[in-house]
Structure formats: C-alpha cells, structure tokens
Amino acid sequence: YAKDGGSPPNIATVTVSIRIKDENDNRPMFEKDVYELQVPENQERVSIFTAKATDKDAGENGRVEYEIIGGDSSGHFWIDKKTGILSTNSGLDRESISFYTLTIVARDQGIPQHSSSVSVSVTVLDVNDNSPTFMDSSYSIDIPENSAASTVVLEVSATDGDEGSNGEVLYYLSSDAQGMFHIDEMGKISTVMSLDREKQTSYTFLVRAVDSAPSDPRSSTTRVEVNVKDVNDNSPLFITDPLIVNISKLTPVNQIVATMKAEDKDFGANASIFYRFSAVISGFSINSFTGEIRLLASLSSMTQSERTLFVVATDQGSPSRSSTGVVIIYLREEQYRGLRFRRSTSQIPLPENSAP
C-alpha cells in the first residue's frame, strides 16, 4: 500500500502477484539404489517391474523418461520410457544366461537435463526344460567271461543343464540286463555275478538317466552292448566214449575203421581240436584234424580178438585243455566160403593099374 503525509493521511493499496519460475535444479530420484528381481525362464513376454523415479521440479523439468543403458547387450528386456514398466522381450533361458544386472537411467526433460540411474538385478529361475544327455547314443564293451562279480565294465555319464534337483541325475537299467548287471548313482555298470559265454555271448540293454525334478521328471536313454569274450574254461568232450567198433580181420590196409569226434563249448582257438593217440600204436594212425582212425597193417596175423586205443583231444587255447577217450576195436573171424571135406574117412578098394 501507499500512504501520504497529510492529516489524516490517505492510503492506497494495490495487489501484486509474483510468479516463481521453476529452474531445473532437481534430478530424478529412485527410492532404492538397487532392486532385486526373480523371473522364471521360458515365460512369454511379461512385465516384471515398474521403475519409479520422482523429480521435484515442474513441467518438463519434472517429467521423467526411462531407458536401459547397460547389462542387456542381447536385448532381452524392454522398458516403457514413459511409465517405467520393465518387461522381458521373450522367454529367458537360464541355461544360457542365469543372471542379469541392468542399469536403468531416469532423465528429466529440462534444460540442462538431469538424470540418475539404478541397478536392477534379475535372477532367472530354473524350469525343468532339459533332459539328461549322454555323451554317446550307444556303447560297446568286451569283458572276459571269467571276470569276478562286481567287476566294473563301463561308466556312463549324463549331464543335465538344469539347476538343483532338476539337474540331479539318477541311473537305471532296463530289464534286458536280466539281473546280470548293476548301475550305481555315479553311472558305473558292474557285474552282479560271473558271466558264462557258453550260456550267453552278449547282453544288450538300455541305461535310462532320469532327473530328480519333483514333478514331471525328464529322462533319456543310451544303448549298451556287453560282449562276453571267451575264456578257455571247457575241455573237449567226446561225443561217444567209449567208441566200440567191430571189424573183420580181412579189413584192407589203409581203410578208415573208426572216427573219434569231440566237441568243445568254447569259441575260436579255444574250441579248435587236435587228435592224437596217447601213445604210439602200431598198425593204426589218427588224423589230427578229423579224428579218423586208419588201418596201417593187416589184421590177419593178429592173435588178439580186440584192440583198445586211447585218443587224446586237445584244444588250442592258452593254456590248452584236453581229454582222453577210448576206442575198442573187436576183430571178428570171417566164415570160410571155399570147398571143405567131411572129416569122416571112407575106404574105397581100387585095383592097381586102374585107368586114370
């Protein structure tokens, strides 16, 4: 107001409006310096967080826009610059990247522009989306048949890219293992008992790896073939022992009079058989490959009614195994088919000088 110096003084008043013009002297401020988030993997595009920064200024000086400036080189996240809503661009894969540290900046629109930033940690939670994987789709192993029980024949391993129980693997054998093999939690396959190649030459079964997910566990299989290698654990066995033959004393020389045959349940050289007499036998020979016994001398002058031959069958294993068989040869007399005179005598008178 204004007042003059008169008496009485006169007074005049006026109203003055003062408008304070805003200066951009405040920066946007987040409530926290760090935010920690968790999001399951494999989710479709989803909003996970709203960044909120306040600016005390007015108008454009207080209008805030948001931007991701670090920690997302692959572009897996997106932020609405006006609302600050942070979303995933697509499903995240924990097995590729399990943790992100994003840097979000908030900028006002004043001149000069002010900004602040905040760190957002995103942990990608595991979902059981991976099956255990074996290094090979099949395995083949040889084992000697005389291997002791609990012999480890093979160790398999399956890896699972998931986390925690989703990635913990247990192993099982299919019923084709016939109870002859066992697998432990480390994937070691061992024999339950000694194997016998003569009963079964090979075993083919599946190993199944199953993760330990509490629901809907995932699994995969690999094929295992165990070949039982032969060990020379069987001796030759003669098919007929003793072998009895009947031949004539008139049998011609060089004729085959008998064949002594043996079998061996082993395989390869372990089942390859050679034959011989246990001692030198006069008048006979034996084929070392076939077991054929051949006559080398005439039997007509032989006074014995039978001959006994001892044949040894030896396999070619290392060490070799053998057995002895017996051949009994009976010699029979042949009936004389020529003219014979009666044993009785007759006296017939004959005059001398009788004509012929």
| H or E segment to which residue 243 belongs | strand 243-248
Given a cut of 90, whether residue 13 has pLDDT beyond it is no
Model pLDDT for residues 323-346, shown as the tens digit of each residue: 999 999 999 876 555 555 555 555
Model pLDDT for residues 189-242, shown as the tens digit of each residue: 999 999 999 999 999 999 999 999 999 999 999 999 999 999 999 999 999 999
Reported for 119-122, long-range contacts at CB under 8 A and 24+ positions apart, including other chains, are 119/33, 119/34, 119/35, 120/34, 120/35, 120/36, 120/37, 120/49, 120/51, 120/71, 120/86, 121/34, 121/35, 121/36, 121/37, 122/37, 122/38, 122/39, 122/48, 122/77
Residue 54 CA neighbour count, 13 Å, CB half: 3
Model pLDDT for residues 46-57, shown as the tens digit of each residue: 999 999 999 999
Give the mean model confidence (pLDDT) for residues 29-37: 94
Domains plus CATH for the chain? 29-125 (2.60.40.60), 133-229 (2.60.40.60), 237-332 (2.60.40.60)
Give the mean model confidence (pLDDT) for residues 66-71: 96
Q: How confident is the model at residue 350 (pLDDT cuts 50, 70, 90)?
A: low
* Beta carbons of 149 and 191 less than 8 angstroms apart: yes
